[in-house]
A and B are shown apart, each in its own frame.
Chain A
Amino acid sequence: MTMNAISRSQIYVLDQDAALDFYVNKLGMEVNTDQDLGFMRWLTVNLPGDPEREILLEKPGPPALDPATAEQVRELLTKGALGGYLFMTTDDARKTHEDLVAKGVEITDEPTERPYGIDFGIRDPFGNRIRIGQMFPRA
């Protein structure tokens, strides 16, 4: 048995419409699947040209979580402590950074050249951390 790809990852968002606006209109991702399953809205996005890797934008709430737990998740998320973390790569970190600043995206860490590449940090509207890097070829 060999597993061969990471195909779906999940983060929590507080509002799926606001999440769509951020991930699609600001970050330039594409909607992969947006379907009302009745019990939940299954909403996934992917980077253009890479539909095999999706991110599920899940809203915490009942019945998956009891109301009190959902509140705890929301509180942790908004204080940046929930842990959902996305790493993405780009061909040009400084240009991507400029584009995102122009779109009003919150920058948490300015582009910095490190031994592994040039990268910077942003936050989504809910508190999730995202890191965008232009990686040097691995030695």
Chain B
Amino acid sequence: MSRAVEESNRAMLRARDAMDRAYAEPLDIPALARIAHVSEAHFIRTFRATFGETPHRYLQRRRVERAMALLVETDRDVTDICYAVGFGSLGTFSRTFRQIVGQSPSDFRRQRVAPANVPSCFTKAWTRPSSFG
């Protein structure tokens, strides 16, 4: 039984790593379920049980986190950043960003202080806004 859990964990981690690595690509549930070698329904359920939120939510927040970093670290315009992190439309990006961060991308850019130079893996892990605080 426990070995099955380990294999499942590892498969879910592979899919989550793919989201961290290839967030800007059109990753959808079928693509991610293929990485984990499970059916789509099983993937969504198991991912949530393993990491505490759905894969869709994880990917959305990964993209928003990357957008937050680009807003702080670069002068690229908001539309450019929206597509660069994997959103398909500016409307979806702005709505999702506001819902997760609580302010618009432009307001966020004005107020935010750039973080120290820690490795980007830590930035990704610790500044990604999550559903669980």
Contacts and interface: CB of A to CB of B under 8 A. Distances in A.
A39 B121 CA distance: 36
Chain A's interface size range is: 20 to 34
Nearest to B13: A80
Q: Chain A interface mostly helix, strand, loop or mixed?
A: strand
B117 A109 contact: no
A79 B12 contact: yes
Interface centre among A107, A121, A126 (most CB of B within 10 A): A121
Contact of A123 (B6, B17, B117, B119): B17
Contacts of A74: 2, 6
Contacts of B20: 108-109
Contacts of B120: 109, 112, 114, 119
B21 A131 contact: no
A106 B16 CA distance: 12
Interface of A: 14, 71, 74-75, 78-80, 87, 106-110, 112, 114-116, 119, 121, 123, 126-127, 129, 131, 133
